Amino acid sequence: MSDRVETLEFQAEARQLLQLMVHSIYSNKDVFLRELISNASDALDKLRLESMVDKDLAVDTADLHIEIEVDKDARTLTVRDNGIGMSRDEVVGLIGTIAKSGTAELLRKLRESKDAGASQELIGQFGVGFYATFMVADKVTLLTRRAGQSGGTRWESTGEGTYSVEAVDEAPQGTSVTLHLKPVDTEDNLHDYTAEWTIREIVKRYSDFIAWPIRMTVERPGEDGATSHETQTLNSMKALWARSRDEVDEAEYQEFYKHVSHDWADPLETIHMRGEGTFEYEALLFLPSHAPLDLFSPQGRRGVQLYVKRVFIMDECDALMPNYLRFVKGVVDAHDLSLNISREILQQDRQIRAVRRRLVKKVLATLKEMSAESYRTFWAEFGAVVKEGLLEDPDNTEALLDLVRVASTHDPAELTTLRDYVARMKDGQSEIYLATGESRSTIENSPHLEAFRAKGYEVLILTDPVDEVWVERVGQYDGKTLRSVAKGQVDLETDEEKAQAEAERKDYAELLTWLSGALADSVKEVRLSSRLTTSPACVVGDAHDMTPTLEKMYRAMGQEVPRVKRILELNPGHPLVTGLRKAHEQGADTEALTETAELLYGMALLAEGGELADPSRFTRILADRLARTL
Ligand code: ADP
Ligand code: MG
């Protein structure tokens, strides 16, 4: 071994993923070839782009292609490209580590799931790329030279924890990956990957649309019994998006999706469209069937690639899709753009903005037309992201509100549309009632809902963090105010009940004044409630006050927000409240009264799932009181 060889360790997460691949938890082993070809194709795209941008780059772009070579005797398979290649540091960074966010999370889930099917599915959703080679090979050698550099790098590993890297003087431009194949084992789905027919089939099935030629030299029996060799191109190279919909079958769309998305699962929906007129483009977009692990991570991979007349221009083209549709994957081929357009110019470009508007409309229309079952899947995976659109995209508020699905007290098993809620509204009901909070159960058990439940009003239950914000921003649906049950005064009473409440208010006037003073540090007002039936008290906000959850959210984002004092409402029908009134009238000890007031307030906070300012004091008072009852 020369002293230029270094042995390095895989990053911990990479090591664990490799273990899973070496011991093959994934049954469809053929996909390793798709992954290698997909990487080679990306490398060729990148080289063409770089050579267009940097005219001095010393590279040969005359015959960019992918080549597959087998050696039956040595049982090796090599996939070679003359693309961008990798420097030594890139090899170590890209192949030795996994940069995908969510890896740790995935590994945790895999460890927890005992069932093999579920593990496979998780790996499939994650997609392991290059590491898939270790399903079929017990050793992998990679030789690569970065475009523009003179020396190359040889990388080798058995997938068992370490790999070696070695600087080499001579290496062809691009990358070749050689797999030392495991023995054929059809029971374990390990096919003979040196067989021409097997390779042909896999390429056709998974990689036919790849825009670069995938070549293989095959043996043909010659006339005099000797064998001759001929090089064939295995793929048709047709850009799927440029074909019309009826020329493409479902399987082709699916494989193309897997190439652009790096997902191993099939897409939920395919959108194939064409824009004609002043600005021509073709778009082939997909809605994934599951959310990626990095959906809410700022580093998460975003969706759409930009091509100009079949030439790849950029990945993750955010000018084409708003942030709230960041999960949409696919390709947009715009005919009239310059090939060396930059990201900054794209953001400004009026035509690109017009295309983006069309794409957004089309995606929203597709969502609207989806079957109930597909849409249920979609909403469970991406609903929380789509709702961000209600903040980001005021032009499409109407369409977005029609897409929203929310839990409701109407039917615990089904989400409802706002339209259906409105259709079920009671006679005389003019507002849409909703409750926000951290979980369905806290909301359902919160005192705020009592009167609504008692009087048979349906309440929407909103539990995503973004809900607080969009409800505030949007304000109403179909002319009806979106009204939080934890805010403002509620007006659910009959005239008779109102008259009774008025009388009670007089009886309670003194107590309420006293309480407002005693609890002045915590609440801005104490009043009688018309929303309680069984609980003694609850805390509510003014109609336009920020909710506690929202306050917490802003603080978590590092924003300074004033602490909003809320209102304590008491249930005049509850013995604790009537008892307190009597005690106050009879001039009971102020300290004892104050403690009762604190307990009432604390209980109201706990009941809505809130936090106490001083839990130990609350517990002490409560324990003292309980002790006295024994
Ligand atoms: P992904 O393709 O999803 O990024 P992979 O595991 O397939 O993940 O590949 C990891 C990275 O290694 C790629 O993003 C690319 O930067 C680099 N890479 C892999 N194969 C090649 C290749 N043939 N040429 C150049 N770079 C490559
Ligand atoms: Mg890849």
Give the tens place of pLDDT for each residue, 20-56.
888 878 888 999 999 999 999 999 999 998 998 888 8
Q: Of the bound ligands, which one is closest to the alpha carbon of residue 134?
A: 1
**pLDDT of 3 higher than 80:** no
The string of DSSP letters for 45-99 reads HHHHHHHHH-TT-----TT--EEEEEETTTTEEEEEE-S----HHHIIIIISS--
* CA 458–ligand 2 middle distance (angstroms): 49
Q: Is 170 annotated as a binding residue?
A: no
pTM over 0.75: yes
* CA 127–ligand 2 middle distance (angstroms): 9
Ramachandran angles phi, psi of 78, nearest 5°: -120, 135
Q: What is the pLDDT of residue 503?
A: 83
From 18, 42, 133, 165, mutation site for ligand 1 pocket: most ligand atoms within 8 A of C-beta:
42
- Mean pLDDT for the stretch of residues 413-438: 94
Q: Of the bound ligands, which one is closest to the alpha carbon of residue 41?
A: 1
Q: Can you tell me the distance from the alpha carbon of 13 to that of 293, in angstroms, rounded to the nearest whole number?
A: 15
Which residues have their alpha-adjacent CB atom under 5 A from ion ligand 2?
Answer: 38-39, 129
Which residues have C-beta atoms less than 6 Å from ligand 1?
A: 35, 39-40, 43, 81, 83-86, 94-95, 129-130, 175, 262
Q: Can you tell me the distance from the alpha carbon of 79 to that of 143, in angstroms, rounded to the nearest whole number?
A: 11
**pLDDT of 549 higher than 80:** no
Give the tens place of pLDDT for each residue, 574-586.
999 999 999 999 9
- Mean pLDDT for the stretch of residues 440-465: 91
**pLDDT of 490 higher than 80:** no
Instruction: Identify the band that residue 1 occupies on the pLDDT scale cut at 50, 70 and 90.
Output: very low
Q: What is the pLDDT of residue 325?
A: 97
Say what the alpha-carbon torsion angle 625, 626, 627, 630 is, to the nearest 10 degrees: 130
- Mean pLDDT for the stretch of residues 196-224: 91
Contact call for residues 241 and 309 (beta carbons, < 8 A): no
Give the tens place of pLDDT for each residue, 491-521.
777 888 888 888 888 889 999 999 999 999 9
Instruction: Identify the band that residue 340 occupies on the pLDDT scale cut at 50, 70 and 90.
Output: confident
* CA 331–ligand 2 middle distance (angstroms): 17
Q: What is the pLDDT of residue 128?
A: 87
Q: Which range has the worst mean pLDDT, 282-296, 336-350, 432-446?
A: 336-350
Closest residue CA from atom 7 of ligand 1: 129
Reduced DSSP (H G I as helix, E B as strand, rest coil) percent helix, strand, coil of the chain, to 5:
45, 20, 35
Delineate the domains of the chain, giving CATH numbers in brackets: 5-233 (3.30.565.10), 240-380 (3.30.230.80), 406-484 (3.40.50.11260), 497-541+563-629 (1.20.120.790)
Q: What is the pLDDT of residue 598?
A: 94
**pLDDT of 101 higher than 80:** no
**pLDDT of 200 higher than 60:** yes
**pLDDT of 2 higher than 60:** no
Closest residue CA from atom 5 of ligand 1: 129
- Mean pLDDT for the stretch of residues 329-333: 96
